[in-house]
Chain A
Amino acid sequence: MAKKKSSCVRYTKWGYIFLIPFFLVYILFSLIPLVSTIYNSFFENYRAAGGLLQVGPNFVGIDNYIKLFKEYDILMYTTNTIVIWLLGFIPQIIISITLAAWFTDLRLKLKAKSFFKTVIYMPGLIMASAFAMLFFSIFSDAGPINDILLSLNILDEPFRFLSSIAGTRGLIALMNFLMWFGNTTIILMAGIMSIDISLFEAAEVDGARSFQIFRKITIPQLRPILVYVLITSLIGGLQMFDVPQVLTNGKGLPNNSSMTLIMFLNKHLYSYNYGMGGALSVVLFVLTFGLSLLVYFAFVKKKD
């Protein structure tokens, strides 16, 4: 590490030293696990007979991947995850961008902005497992929501949310929406406020209406941040776990229709099935990476 320029040597060294903890821990707890995950995906390694019999590890090449697609409903779990994510994300992005535009609208001048911001951001900090448990309780067959719907004569008999595919997926999407739309609104607001104000002023002078300003100035200027929101939300959506896991008790009921990819991975991790778990993780890694690239390029191309 010794260099010739004497004044630089002393300081340069510290740059490297200060980076040691980060990289040491990263290598030990993320990089080695990543390599080990990929490595394990090529081995048969699981416990049979209720955990009594250890099978493997035996090298099996890409057998785990073939098995994953042939024997398990991985496509169904992927569809579940994407459908539930979209059910939450579409209203989330529409509401968030609308609220962000309203909050920053120069003519609209809404009051109590900080109150609304505080309230809508709040669900995002709540423990997802407790939030899911809360929704499970209040939407249960004899829970408060059914009580209210019955007493208002909207329903004749309790609606069994968790026995219906739409009910379960809808509840998960609703929770995801509530947990994320505040965060997205604040990010988009910050994005709108960082747009050059003279653009808006010029449009006003030219007599543009609010909606025209929104469509012709706000949205195009906001594109990089929208891409960022979309990508991070997509990656977050693929990791969806706590809410459906607790809501359906890890079973993805009814009929596996709310079983997400990470819930499926979790099953393998619990049962010490390292081979299949590894293959699934690698598929997830590729999926996450591929989808973000796809979204990224789709937007960059449009811009040109």
Chain B
Amino acid sequence: MRKEDNFSLFGLYLRRFFSYLVLIILTLLCLVPFYVLFVNSSRSHADIQKGFSLLPGKFLITNYKSLLLDKNLPVIRGIANSFIVAASSSLLSVYFSSLTAYAVHAYDFKLKKLLFSFILMVMMVPTQVTSLGFIKLVREVSFLKNTYWPLIIPSISAPIVVFFIKQYMETALPVEIVEAARIDGSHEFSTFNRIVLPIMKPAIAVQAIFSFTSSWNNYFIPALVLAEVDKNKKTLPILIAQLRSADFLKFDMGKLYMMIALSIFPIIIVYLILSKQIVSGVAMGSVKG
């Protein structure tokens, strides 16, 4: 009996050792590309050409400055443009998705089931499938052409966000609260703004982060919508992609790595601050999904 216990204990240690080993390998796989990015963004072009080094160099500030001075790569403008687009889409997306989810959650009306099933159904339809009609529309309507509107306004209808917020409402928003507000004479619209939205804060925050990053990272549609605008009006992913089509061999590699670093590290920093909420948000949305 005792022998068997020892044996299974040994097996457990072995399994634990193996698990940690795999986890450490995966951790390295996830982190090494970013470490290389950090190291190379702090080295000069000549140093990078000589070979790889494990330690960062002293050219971080130099590379940063030379990137800022490069008029062909308006990176700060790109960051600002991306921020404007991502922040407005994310705000619109969470506000109107909450409103939509609230309409389905708190009211009873004839077409409710039909309309909500429609939202669930179109959740699976990828935007790429309708992109041709979308781009054609944008190119033909002067109000939309060469502007950020086509990147911002469609966020009002985000079926996936509606779905997640609706899921959260079912556990967090009892209809009695809404009824109590009604008895107090609160207007339906202000009940939503003043009572429902604050209760939904945790879910809204998580979804806002996801909407923001997906808009911030989006390349396919913005590249088509902003194909003809001046480079000062392009968003960050488009500028990054343009680096690839530039003559790579003539490029200052330090500057190139710096540019990639500037588009990756801000998101990583924000993520590290909010990682707990984000990771639990992913789990929260999925359980019932």
Residues in B neighbouring A265, C-beta threshold 8 A: 128, 131-132
Cross-chain contact of B134 among A33, A125, A270 (Cβ < 8 A): A33
Per the bound structure, the CA–CA distance linking A144 and B224 in Å amounts to 33
List residues of chain A with CB within 8 A of the CB of B26: 95, 99, 116, 120, 181
Known A130-B260, A292-B124; contact A274-B132, beta-carbon cutoff 8 A: yes
Q: Does B287 contact A (CB under 8 A)?
A: yes
Is A33's CB under 8 angstroms from B240's CB? no
Known contacts A14-B103, A190-B286; A129/B122 CB under 8 A: no
B183 at the interface (CB under 8 A from A): no
Say whether B132 contacts A121, CB under 8 Å.
no
Secondary structure of the A side of the interface?
helix
- CB of A270 within 8 A of CB of B217, answer no
Question: Does chain A have a CB within 8 A of B31?
Answer: yes
A and B contact pairs by CB, cutoff 8 A, 8 listed: A36-B132, A127-B263, A128-B217, A133-B244, A135-B33, A151-B51, A190-B282, A246-B241
B55 within 8 A of A: no
Residues of B within 8 A of A242 (CB): 217, 219-220, 237
- Supposing A19-B100, A190-B287 touch, asked if A37 and B220 sit within 8 A by C-beta, the answer is no
What is the bound-complex CA distance between A147 and B37, given in angstroms? 15
The closest CB in chain A to the CB of B239 belongs to A129
Closest to A242 in B: B219
Q: Which residue of A lies closest to B288 (CB)?
A: A194
Q: Would you call A191 and B286 a contact (CB within 8 A)?
A: yes
Residue of B nearest to A283 (CB): B129
A126 touching B217 in the complex, CB below 8 Å, given contacts A37-B129, A265-B128 = yes
Q: How far is the CB of A125 from chain B (nearest CB, A)?
A: 5
CB 8 Å contact bits of B213-244 with A (1 = contact, 0 = none): 10011011000100100000000110011011
Q: Is the CB of B264 within 8 A of A137?
A: no
A108 touches B130 (CB 8 A): no
Q: Are B153 and A25 within 8 A (Cβ)?
A: yes
Stretch at the interface among B56-64, B154-162, B197-205: B154-162
| A256 close to chain B: CB less than 8 A | no
Q: Is the CB of B275 within 8 A of A14?
A: no
A25 and B157: CB pair below 8 A? yes
Q: Which residues of A contact B (CB under 8 A)?
A: 8, 11-12, 14-19, 21-23, 25-26, 29-30, 32-37, 40, 95, 98-99, 102, 107-108, 110, 114, 116-123, 125-138, 140, 142, 144, 147-148, 151, 178, 181-183, 186-187, 189-191, 194, 210, 225, 228, 231, 235, 238-239, 241-242, 245-247, 249-250, 262, 265-266, 268-270, 274, 277-278, 281, 284-285, 288-289, 292
Nearest B residue to A136, CB-CB? B244
Contact present for B260 and A36 (CB under 8 Å): no
Q: A22-B162, A137-B253, A137-B257 are in contact. Are A277 and B132 (CB under 8 A)?
A: yes
Nearest opposing residue in chain A for B16, CB measure: A108
Of residues B104, B112, B129, B131, which shows the largest number of chain A Cβ atoms within 10 Å of its Cβ? Answer: B129
Contact partner of A29 (CB less than 8 A), chosen from B100, B102, B134, B192, is B134
Among all A-B residue pairs, the 6 with the closest Cβ atoms? A33-B133, A15-B107, A36-B133, A18-B103, A190-B283, A26-B157
Interface residues of B in 137-168 (CB under 8 A from A): 137, 150, 153-154, 156-157, 162
Instruction: Evaluate contact between B20 and A110: CB separation under 8 angstroms.
Output: yes
Contact B289 A32 (CB under 8 A): no
Tell whether, in the assembled complex, residue A30 and residue B154 are in contact, meaning their CB atoms are under 8 Å apart: yes
Nearest B-chain residue to A281, judged by Cβ: B132
Using known A-B contacts A118-B272, A249-B245, A270-B227, determine if residue A131 contacts B264 with beta carbons closer than 8 Å: yes
Give the CA-CA distance A99 to B256 in the complex, in Å: 35
Q: A108-B19, A133-B244 are in contact. Are A14 and B131 (CB under 8 A)?
A: no
The distance in angstroms between the C-alpha atoms of A136 and B36, with both chains bound, is: 13
Query: Does A134 lie within 8 Å of B33, measured CB to CB?
Result: yes
8 more A-B residue pairs beyond the given contacts A126-B264, A133-B244, with a C-beta to C-beta distance below 8 A: A26-B157, A138-B40, A142-B49, A190-B284, A228-B289, A262-B128, A265-B128, A269-B131
Which B residues are in CB contact (< 8 Å) with A107? 12
- A11 contacts B107, C-beta separation under 8 Å: yes
Question: What chain A residues lie within 8 Å of B256 (beta carbons)?
Answer: 137
